[in-house]
Structure 1
């Protein structure tokens, strides 16, 4: 009889935990669905009128690429930008003036305005913007014209040097902010939240450099990046989970290991031999 009660008890606990897991999964899916709807609305509201005006100004023959969080289904309302780049044959002053009405409409959104570059400049940009181009390649959508990223390759040496420089710069800014915050959890939460987007860009670049899969999901990205660096993933996961929370209070003991990830990444890249990228 006791054995049967134990069996029934274990079965009840299994069902209870499974129900909790299913409820959690549904909540996550609902949040992702709401976020995707908000993302699509933001893109439609801002990008479509801009491209309509750009079509009238340029008359076609250009490429428009949506990249970043909006292209990866990772848009965070109120924090993420809608990133767009135009690759154009001619960028004379007259062509830039013609784009003025398109940019005037975008400016009302208070989002970062689109980038504009000539095709000749773009084809030679991989050594100047290796991190940015490598990140674009992990998630983008061509909205006009030919795909300008299809045949563009970033040299591993350029990417390694740029990543080391960016991680060192991020470390300096995190240390600066940590010292200036005087241990205030609200200030540290805001600093960590602002830095999370750049940190994820750099982790995607790191995984690309190492020839590893680059997850689109931010939490999976944090785990994969930490694994590549040989560090605990929890400091990264904590910040990624709260990056859309404007009221998050990050205690110093949680911020410090997050700051250390940037230090460890810079050191890792400094010592990395590209012949052995495992």
Structure 2
């Protein structure tokens, strides 16, 4: 993990604003603060100014209601910067490696330690736990897609939001598939999508189109949305089979 606040992709203004946030956490929590880590798109270098959240993992010795009250005061200031903090104890983080191995793996791989000690140093993520969460995410996501298709059939704009949410939930699974293949995870979401689609013969054009839609670089025509969702459900079923395969 890198111990410096990365400036690439964040912009000079946001980079300068991030250090005072870290300092304020240190002042607020004193000895209860174990570490602060930057994770997500800002840490991976795939950050989109004005659209992406700046995700911070704040690890405390304990998380009490008083701590949340203090965090609520600071959050009012952070919302303008789209800084989204996640508060966990060190014990909860160890359990998270079993319950949420995809998220833990992402932070282990690309997270930046901004202050304190590295809480992931002794955490090992099991491939079986990774496969188990992938199955949960994929099967649950497939059900939501089918239900969304029924509910939003004649509402193109709402279906567009469903598509953006679907590719967002699929990206951590794609990164996990790359890791399970034993290869390094590419830096950007687009590279991850292209890597998985190429290796496993998925519809590359579909997934890259959905990612561009999510990032706001293209606008899907309402007339095309239903067809795209139908294609996505077909491809999603292939990804389920891919993860279910021994």
In structure 2, the residue matched to 1:91 is 63
Offset at residue 142 of structure 1 (A): 0.9
**Deviating 4+ runs (over 6 angstroms):** none
Higher mean alpha-carbon deviation, 167-176 vs 246-255, is at 246-255
TM-score (norm 2): 0.83
Rate the CA distance shift 1:157–1:247 in 2: closer, same or farther, 3 A.
Answer: same
Q: Which has the higher contact order (CA 8 A, sep 6+)?
A: 2
Pairing 1:193–2:164 present: yes
Equivalenced residue count is: 235
Rate the CA distance shift 1:80–1:197 in 2: closer, same or farther, 3 A.
Answer: farther
TM-score (norm 1): 0.74
Match for residue 183 of structure 2 among 212, 219, 226: 212
Offset at residue 152 of structure 1 (A): 1.8
Structure 2 residues not aligned, in runs of 5+: 1-7
Offset at residue 71 of structure 1 (A): 0.7
Pairing 1:227–2:198 present: yes
Secondary structure at the residue paired with 2:88? strand
Higher mean alpha-carbon deviation, 130-139 vs 153-162, is at 130-139
Indicate the RMSD between aligned Cα atoms, in angstroms. Answer: 2.5
Rate the CA distance shift 1:105–1:232 in 2: closer, same or farther, 3 A.
Answer: same
Structure 1 residues not aligned, in runs of 5+: 1-34, 274-278
Offset at residue 68 of structure 1 (A): 0.5
Could you tell me whether the CA contact under 8 Å between 1:50 and 1:103 is conserved in 2?
Answer: no
Alignment of 1:1-278 (within 5 A): 36-38=9-11, 41-42=13-14, 44-45=16-17, 47-59=18-30, 61-109=33-81, 111=82, 113-182=84-153, 184-245=155-216, 247-249=219-221, 251=224, 252-271=226-245, 273=246
Q: How many angstroms apart in 1 are the aligned matches of 2:128 and 2:150?
A: 33
Offset at residue 184 of structure 1 (A): 4.8
Could you tell me whether the CA contact under 8 Å between 2:36 and 2:57 is conserved in 1?
Answer: yes
Secondary structure at the residue paired with 1:36? coil
